[in-house]
Amino acid sequence: MRFDEAYSGKVFIMSREDGEAADAVIYGMPMDWTVSFRPGSRFGPNRIREASIGLEEYSPYLDRHLEEVNFFDAGDIPLPFGNPQRSIDMIEEYIGTLLEKGKFPLGLGGEHLVTWPVLKAMYCKYPDLAVIHIDAHTDLREEYEGEPLSHSTPIRKACELMGPEHVYSFGIRSGMREEFQYAKESGMYLAKYDVVEPLKGVLPKLAGRPVYVTIDIDVLDPAFAPGTGTAEAGGISSKELLEAIHMIADSDIQVVGGDLVEVAPAYDPTEQTVIAASKFVREMLLGWVK
């Protein structure tokens, strides 16, 4: 043992040392300044990394081991506190660089607005991109109390950028009446309450297409993920979310990137949310990065 090689669990378990050689890159987006209820998801990425120490590196679900996925944990993007516009620009530029280098981007939030600049960069590279959006909330507002840059607007922006017919939402159980009307009239796909059953119908239709998958941890019932800003009773279980991740892995779609957002450790005294999140990240790595 050399004195400067002590293990410290600084990064997601089994992250490689060489970023340039990696196939996939994990990065944090520690932003929570536009949330309307309980802030704190800025600390999500680092606590997910920390909790990964308790994970096995092997998945019995997928019969695959993290040593089979060449990934690099790059840490958090240093976003400027309280400035949504500059934060978004930095994220878009960062993802652009990753995509240029051919990396699979796997992001950790932070509030859901971070997905918006990621999608802009993804869509630039993949003009036929589709989005799978797993969430308790529609996130289809045009603005939130006058602010177009809000954690309530990213999916609406995605619809406007890519065309609503390429956006597929699952597990939705909260939103304004106007958002549900927009979903119905715009031609986007929206499945209320459930994830697994509707996914079974949608995945075959997306076969062969590049797809970005964004998961808001609050799609889970607060029983399974209390550590989130806007908890919403009546959600799915961890078992169901695992099944959804595995169905996506086993389908014929081409996953080209993904994220897990809205983990807020301040409301997670038992650490159960970050522990579950770190397992979801492991399964996303093992199932989606080929």
Among 89, 160, 165, 176, binds a second copy (CB under 8 A): 176
For 190, the 3-state DSSP assignment is: strand
Among 52, 150, 153, 214, binds a second copy (CB under 8 A): 150
Q: Could you tell me the smallest distance in angstroms from the CB atom of residue 204 to a second copy?
A: 25
Which range binds a second copy by CB under 8 A, 117-125, 162-170, 205-213, 268-276?
A: 268-276
Distance CA 6, CA 3 (A): 7
Residues 87-126 that bind a second copy (CB under 8 A): 90, 93-94, 97-98, 101, 103
Distance CA 135, CA 132 (A): 10
Closer residue to a second copy, CB minimum distance, 54 or 187: 54
Among 109, 235, 258, 287, binds a second copy (CB under 8 A): 235
Judge residue 281's burial from the number of C-beta atoms within 10 Å of its C-beta, 0-12 exposed, 13-18 middle, 19 or more buried.
buried
Residue 60 lies near a second copy (rule: CB under 8 A): yes
Distance CA 22, CA 24 (A): 6
CB atoms within 10 A of CB 121: 21
Which range binds a second copy by CB under 8 A, 121-129, 154-162, 166-174, 249-257?
A: 166-174
* Cα dihedral sign, 43-216-140-173: negative
Nearest to 108 by CA among 16, 33, 221, 32: 32
Q: Could you tell me the smallest distance in angstroms from the CB atom of residue 203 to a second copy?
A: 21
Binding mask 195-214 for a second copy (x = CB under 8 A): --------------------
Distance CA 235, CA 232 (A): 7
Among 14, 74, 124, 247, binds a second copy (CB under 8 A): 74
Among 13, 24, 35, 256, binds a second copy (CB under 8 A): 35
Contact 3, 47 (CB under 8 A): no
Q: Could you tell me the smallest distance in angstroms from the CB atom of residue 105 to a second copy?
A: 10
Q: Which residue has the tokens 């029983």?
A: 223
Distance CA 23, CA 72 (A): 8
Q: Could you tell me the smallest distance in angstroms from the CB atom of residue 2 to a second copy?
A: 8
The count of residues interacting with a second copy (CB under 8 A) is: 102
CA dihedral 95, 71, 251, 210 (to 10 degrees): 20
Residue 62 lies near a second copy (rule: CB under 8 A): no
Residue 14 lies near a second copy (rule: CB under 8 A): no
